[in-house]
Amino acid sequence: MADSSFDVVSKIDRQEVDNALNQTVKEVGHRFDFKGTGAAISWSGQNDIEIKANSEERTEAVLDVFKEKLVRRGLSLKVLDASEPKLSGKEYRLMISLKEGIDQDNAKKISKLIRDEGPKGVKAQIQGDELRVSSKKKDDLQEVISLLKGKDLDIALQFTNYR
């Protein structure tokens, strides 16, 4: 009998992030507390988002609105890597990077976690920016998925290609 397997990945649904960003733009444009503050949020490159406002508090408030929209759309806040607001001329700018993929350190950490706490006979292989987990029994794979969901890791995980 062939081994069953699944992939552990960390991907971003760009369309959902874009929808959350557009909702944030609308809300910032309509809310009274953002009037006259120059508050704005926009894409700045492929995986970066830029927030501008005339005060540090307003940039943080726009970030909070954006986080709220992401959560409502079912996206994890672990994909965000926000910097501190920096003064640039007369306005504050806050840069947010979107983290995608599992880096080598996290892949090794997850692999070790599966080896140490997971059921016997489960193998985890690092394949680029994802992890392939395989076992003879599907029940063991289900156990690994619930183990990983129960741990508080630094990255958002999805489980794909379950066979």
The residues near 86 (Cβ < 8 Å, ≥ 6 apart) are 92, 93, 94
Continuous segment of H or E residues that includes residue 18: helix 14-30
pLDDT for position 161: 87
For the stretch 106-162, pLDDT in tens is: 999 999 999 999 888 899 999 988 999 999 999 999 999 999 999 888 898 999 988
CB distance 141 to 135 below 8 Å: yes
- The enclosing domain of 82 has a CATH number of 3.30.70.990
CATH code where residue 135 lies: 3.30.70.860
Q: Which domain holds residue 112?
A: 4-11+102-160
| C-beta separation of 145 from 135 below 8 A | no
Do 19 and 93 fall within a single domain? Answer: yes
Tokens for 53?
């406002």
CA distance 135 to 4: 6
With 0.95 as the threshold, say if the pTM is over it: no
58 and 37 in a common domain: yes
